[in-house]
Structure 1
């Protein structure tokens, strides 16, 4: 009889262990406490929640009330919050005011810097639906260089693109676009390059523009429309019709006529 009773007790313990379930709620502390709804399962089962942990510390055990307030006032502002709730498998506790930890996760620039080869920017709390535009300050204003999609998430993210500097000062900035907020601009970053100045020559017999070294260029027609772009030591213009053109490279604008 004792052996039989022990087996019943063991089966009950194993069954109870299987029925327990964990639910997690994550966010940041913004000055307000969180309220948890604790469903009542009936006279035999009692309430849904068994234990509540805040950032790994047990804050309440077997609360016998239908709603419970988690006191978070000892936390510093913007502290990361992880709420773990151990509860019965056949019920689901809920936060009655989840917005107090989920909202107001503000995007911020951590660092933007440029070296000889690239621009790198580090941010936090970027949107998954956002994107960046890298710009360079030219004679006629800020010109977009490239667009990069965000990675998203509440943690730190790093992005970069390769750059072609001109000799002397090079001023860059990055735009952050989020469908839920206004465009956010980084601080501008100036990089002085002492690279050798690039020049060109036009071979009118073969109609090829030759550069002194590899460079990125844009070729425009007389309507200011880009008709060719590339990165090379030369630009083949043999197939272009006669007319006026302009080529832009290394910060220079060169107008010429093809006969």
Structure 2
């Protein structure tokens, strides 16, 4: 090989190495940009169920003053096909062929230094629309009811009327179907006549209740003793220790204890007068 050939081969090799190094540097720079971009991307998300209403979004200016905060909106993984470069915009959920009750997951991809917000996130929460078609109770406290026209999976509260107010006795998650929904649950009845109802409270904070029904239980009436107590009071039915739900209030109306047992430990109570709710009664005790 001549000197000219050696020089040419060496020069070509050097140029190829230079091109390779240049390409690798560019790829490394692009990769760094991608990582930096990913690190600056922020996600604000919201999940719920479609209830026939659209979401509204507050979209502030970016921290550098150029453009708006949100770069992309995804609904169940699909890009929102609408303009988002404005201070406030609507996410029209109808664009995604959703049916009432369908699950919805919304993501707002935005930059650092600014925080967008959902104006009305409650529209993805279910509303209480149930109608009771039947409700009944057995003497041992089994409550059964049926509904129609539910619009979302909201909890039903089974409530007992005792101690001069409605008290939560059990909770059942609603099925949320428009067609017939059937439910059944056992509660702890008080002695004698029991009055119960079924209620729901949605995101508006308004409670909707069924009509109340009554049943007579076979539970025996309870007594509390002693009235003057040092360490504990006991619940008995015909001299037999019996569990009951109870509450203990001080003279100022503060709830101090609650539970389900056949006695109450009073050793940690200060001396004074207390009111005890148990069974379907309220009685006074004196701690000394």
TM-score interval, normalised by the smaller of the two chains: 0.5 to 0.7
Confirm whether residue 215 of structure 1 aligns to residue 244 of structure 2: yes
**Retained in 2: the 8 A contact 1:132–1:150?**
yes
CA distance in 1 between partners of 2:230 and 2:287 (Å): 11
> Which residue does 1:50 correspond to in 2?
none
Confirm whether residue 240 of structure 1 aligns to residue 276 of structure 2: no
Unaligned runs of 5+ in 2: 1-93, 102-128, 237-241
Match of 2:132 among 94, 103, 109: 109
> Which residue does 1:189 correspond to in 2?
213
Select between 241-250 and 132-141 the one with higher mean Cα deviation.
132-141
What are the within-5 Å matches in structure 2 for residues 1-259 of structure 1?
Answer: 107-115=130-138, 116-138=140-162, 140-179=164-203, 183-202=207-226, 206-212=230-236, 213-259=242-288
- Displacement of 1:132 in angstroms is 2.3
- Displacement of 1:102 in angstroms is 6.5
Q: Does the C-alpha gap of structure 1 residues 137 and 168 become closer, same or farther in structure 2, counting only changes over 3 Å?
A: same
**Retained in 1: the 8 A contact 2:163–2:277?**
no
CA distance in 1 between partners of 2:253 and 2:184 (Å): 30
CA distance in 1 between partners of 2:221 and 2:229 (Å): 26
Select between 160-169 and 233-242 the one with higher mean Cα deviation.
160-169
Please identify the structure whose Cα radius of gyration is greater: 2
- Displacement of 1:226 in angstroms is 1.4
CA distance in 2 between partners of 1:173 and 1:198 (Å): 24
Deviations 1:55-104 (A, max 9, x none): xxxxxxxxxxxxxxxxxxxxxxxxxxxxxxxxxxxxxxxx99x99x979x
RMSD of aligned residue pairs (Cα, Å): 3.3
Indicate the structure with greater strand content.
Answer: 1
Deviations 1:137-168 (A, max 9, x none): 23524333344432323343333443222222
CA distance in 1 between partners of 2:204 and 2:147 (Å): 17
- Displacement of 1:180 in angstroms is 7.5
Number of equivalent positions: 162
CA distance in 1 between partners of 2:281 and 2:207 (Å): 30
**Retained in 2: the 8 A contact 1:127–1:151?**
no
CA distance in 1 between partners of 2:279 and 2:208 (Å): 28
